[in-house]
Chain A
């Protein structure tokens, strides 16, 4: 059962890694505004018409 020393230590280290990730995330400022992103993600991306034309022409060239 002495392996429990190792197991617990490893799990604590993993937990600390997650904690550091939390600190980093908060520092980056993404939690300062928690409402606007919820609205922002609902906006549809519009397909740019010019991009479509370009891909069409390159396809033709390869054929």
Chain B
């Protein structure tokens, strides 16, 4: 049995905290408790489906008090009757079959739950329960206690029920139904030999085919007509126009043919075309369904806050009801929802969301505190200055950059070509018509319509979605998630890359710590470690993990002064850990470092300096990227890291420090005005404006479910060093698309030669079009897979 990893959650076990229960090893009490719950209820087969599927439950006391508020609960429920309530909860931890199993067996843990169903792709669980026996809050507590804490955000609160749109499935079904039946019914005419019986029943078959084509023409293809009409109204020529044109011309020509008996018409090609187009569209949608990029800034704010009423009673109110002058209670780890004034004597606020700095900022009573910070430590009281819609962060979000539709900034490669496709096509058709009109008027019409029919825009319409969809899938499987296919094209065009420093090229997970000063004896180390144990401060936690194992000591006195340090008395010694001034050491003012000083029994020993730890493979990545792109680094931090960065980056790369969020955005704009195509790699809310402004914004994330909504792509932190590979793959994707356009051009030339010579038989059209579609789709899929493997090896 693997004893170094927790049986429940799979994370490394710190020997000091190890708990052994039922002959299994757990990393903490939380994991052991979940295991206990499962084995007591006979549900230990949770562990059979996947190794270490669990998550350590987090302490959520007080966090869900807003669920006591009836109005909020009402908005969150899907269905609300006397005896039954149904709620859909978003649970980020759903990731494997064990999760599905346990969540669908919730009724064994809580009898009031009658039924629960998981939607794996959306990471949602739909729970049906009896409100008389349990409440939504209890269910949320239950879920959290087993490590499946739901993620409840303002979105759930605001939007009404979204109706599931199945129209594409219906259209596809209709299209295939018509296509299949028409093909079968066309067989007699294909194998046309002038047989007597065929002449007799020809009319029957033809009109039947006509009737079958109607649903496909009117219903299934309706999307294309609407899109083409809209695009014509705005004066742009996009890909839907030749498709809609082709379909309509085919229909008219075929109807004319049947009515006047010229031929069997092209209904088989028509329905075939509609079917393949819709299939392509469905494929596109399936590829995007995993990630939801629709979160806006509201997701970062707590749904409800605790307000202290004038009679000092606490009540939870929805965030939009917070008004100026309200007094709010903010607990440990809670976000500050709006700008206000601090009432409590002292507060320590972590603004890493906004500034990127992990070190909390100390505020004292009367100071203004800004929204977006997270309170660390004691409970604080604040008075609201501005309601939510006016806070600083909202201003950043409301920056017109967000409102701008990114799509309009960039014309996709398909749109570029379709701009020329339709006019050229019409030109050829006119020329053919003009040529034949002097020879035979019938053939002239024949040729005109044949040209419009056979010039298959399907290659154009299908190449991009299939190639890009495939590449999207390949990238997604390697933890690089793009917002949509357009991003791939934009990636291929980038020439400048701007990196944010904190959290992007540095990792927040490990920070290397060095010590300067008098060496500690083992006894002293024991003292320090024990004192650190009582503190929740990020630096204390990092230092605690860094120091070696020691025995436990009892602490007699312990006082933590936010922003200053810790004062403790243990084992007869007085220990002071913290800032230089706190421990009584004079520090030269211009020294820029994050350091923790130690004094024991009044004697100064030294300081621990926290160095930024750069991500693995960074130097290699910079070298690789430096060959093709201009690299720049922007940072909200101080100049301390300049020399290190100059070493890592290619010569002459720009390094700018002390940048505020707006300044980062301005910098990107400035580069773009110089004609550069900029890609920004960042991580948090503070570079959100810059991420949206840049041509491509990539957000590096340690946890894929928490990211900036302004970005175009998310890259998992572990795969950061492969950025060069991803960039090359996107370029190869564009190459593949160009190659397949050439291939389709070949088909078109062949088809047009048939059309212009007046020889386009329905049979020929019926063969060429599906053939070209299938070969193009297979070609792009194979090529993109081939490139993905080939350039990996480089």
A23 to B219, alpha carbons, bound, how many Å?
14
Q: Are A36 and B101 in contact (CB under 8 A)?
A: no
B100 at the interface (CB under 8 A from A): yes
Q: Are B169 and A31 in contact (CB under 8 A)?
A: yes
B389 at the interface (CB under 8 A from A): no
- Known A-B contacts A1-B200, A36-B118, A43-B101; A26 and B169 likewise in contact (beta carbons under 8 Å): yes
Q: Are B181 and A12 in contact (CB under 8 A)?
A: yes
A4 to B200, alpha carbons, bound, how many Å?
11
What residues of B have a CB within 8 angstroms of the CB of A61 in the complex? none
A47 to B174, alpha carbons, bound, how many Å?
44
Q: Are A33 and B45 in contact (CB under 8 A)?
A: no
A32 to B169, alpha carbons, bound, how many Å?
10
What residues of A have a CB within 8 angstroms of the CB of B118 in the complex? 36
What residues of B have a CB within 8 angstroms of the CB of A63 in the complex? none
What residues of B have a CB within 8 angstroms of the CB of A35 in the complex? 120-121
| CB nearest to A29 among chain B residues | B164
What residues of A have a CB within 8 angstroms of the CB of B185 in the complex? 8
Size class of B's contact patch?
Answer: 20 to 34
**Which residue of B49, B119, B201 contacts A36 across the interface (Cβ within 8 Å)?**
B119
Which chain B residues (153-189) contact chain A, with CB distance < 8 Å?
164, 166, 169-170, 173-174, 177, 181, 185
B104 at the interface (CB under 8 A from A): yes
- Known A-B contacts A32-B164, A33-B120; A26 and B181 likewise in contact (beta carbons under 8 Å): no
Q: Are B104 and A40 in contact (CB under 8 A)?
A: yes
B204 at the interface (CB under 8 A from A): yes
B438 at the interface (CB under 8 A from A): no
Q: Are A42 and B97 in contact (CB under 8 A)?
A: yes
Q: Are A23 and B201 in contact (CB under 8 A)?
A: no
A15 to B179, alpha carbons, bound, how many Å?
12
A27 to B167, alpha carbons, bound, how many Å?
10
Interface 0/1 of A1-32, CB less than 8 Å to B = 10011001000100100010011001101011
B208 at the interface (CB under 8 A from A): yes
What residues of B have a CB within 8 angstroms of the CB of A36 in the complex? 100, 117-121
**Which residue of A8, A33, A46 contacts B208 across the interface (Cβ within 8 Å)?**
A8
- Known A-B contacts A33-B119, A46-B45; A15 and B208 likewise in contact (beta carbons under 8 Å): no
B260 at the interface (CB under 8 A from A): no
A35 to B95, alpha carbons, bound, how many Å?
12
Q: Are B177 and A26 in contact (CB under 8 A)?
A: no
| CB nearest to A33 among chain B residues | B119
Interface 0/1 of B700-731, CB less than 8 Å to A = 00000000000000000000000000000000
A1 to B181, alpha carbons, bound, how many Å?
21
B197 at the interface (CB under 8 A from A): yes
Known contacts A1-B197, A27-B166, A36-B117; 5 further A-B pairs (Cβ under 8 A): A19-B173, A26-B166, A31-B169, A40-B104, A44-B45
> Taking beta carbons and an 8 Å cutoff, which residues of A are in contact with B?
1, 4-5, 8, 12, 15, 19, 22-23, 26-27, 29, 31-33, 35-36, 39-40, 42-44, 46
Task: Give 28 A-B contacts (CB < 8 Å), ordered by A residue.
Answer: A1-B201, A4-B201, A4-B204, A5-B204, A8-B208, A12-B181, A12-B208, A15-B181, A19-B173, A19-B177, A22-B173, A23-B170, A26-B166, A26-B170, A29-B164, A31-B169, A33-B119, A33-B120, A35-B120, A35-B121, A36-B119, A36-B121, A39-B100, A40-B100, A40-B104, A42-B97, A43-B101, A44-B45
